[in-house]
Amino acid sequence: MRTRQILCPTDFSETASHALGYAMEMARHYEVGIRLLHVIDKPFGDKHTRVLSVTSEELATRLGGEAAEKMQKLIDDLDTEVKIEVLIRHGHATKQILDAAKEINAGMIVMASHGYTGLSHFLHPNVAEAIAGGAECPVLVVK
């Protein structure tokens, strides 16, 4: 942990912001960087059952652009004392978080127990439980 990055998944919710605060504290303490991750899942639910006038590729591109803008705003508001890298992925949240943790050899994952806005399923408690059970590194789940 003491020399490896902290992975911090976010859905840009207030709860995820709270988790990021913990990640920042730990990163300063251990003098490591943070990899901030946002996962874009395929849209589903009532608001997405209508006929779309865009292709799935166009929708993915638009969602990626919106996520990149939110990520940049989030980073602009943070303490620059900690090195922060961003990663935006597409797919199922649990798989993408676990894959990212393995790929960067994360020292720890710091994540929210659930999200209230954006892709609310992204940090659903079941995802946090799956991450805690499947990660090869320590996981801090923040309420």
Per-residue confidence band for 116, with pLDDT thresholds at 50, 70 and 90: very low
Q: What is the CATH number of the domain that holds 107?
A: 3.40.50.620
Per-residue confidence band for 61, with pLDDT thresholds at 50, 70 and 90: confident
Q: Is residue 43 situated within a structural domain?
A: yes
Report pLDDT for 55: 63
- In the numeric block, which tokens belong to residue 48? 């997405």
Number of domains in the chain: 1
Q: Is residue 1 situated within a structural domain?
A: no
Per-residue confidence band for 46, with pLDDT thresholds at 50, 70 and 90: very low
- In the numeric block, which tokens belong to residue 107? 């020292």
Report pLDDT for 54: 61
Q: Say if residues 73 and 103 touch (Cβ distance below 8 Å).
A: no
What percentage of the chain has pLDDT greater than the value 90?
Answer: 45
Amino acid identity of 46? D
Instruction: Tell me whether strands 34-40 and 6-9 are parallel, antiparallel or unpaired.
Output: parallel
Per-residue confidence band for 45, with pLDDT thresholds at 50, 70 and 90: very low
Q: Say if residues 18 and 45 touch (Cβ distance below 8 Å).
A: no
Quote the domain boundaries for residue 116: 6-142
Q: Is residue 41 situated within a structural domain?
A: yes
Q: What is the pTM of this model?
A: 0.78
DSSP E strands: which ranges in the chain? 6-9, 34-40, 84-90, 108-112, 139-142
Which of 20-29, 34-43, 104-113, 128-137 is predicted least confidently? 34-43
Q: Give the H/E segment covering residue 142.
A: strand 139-142
DSSP 8-state assignment for residue 37:
E
Q: Is residue 33 situated within a structural domain?
A: yes
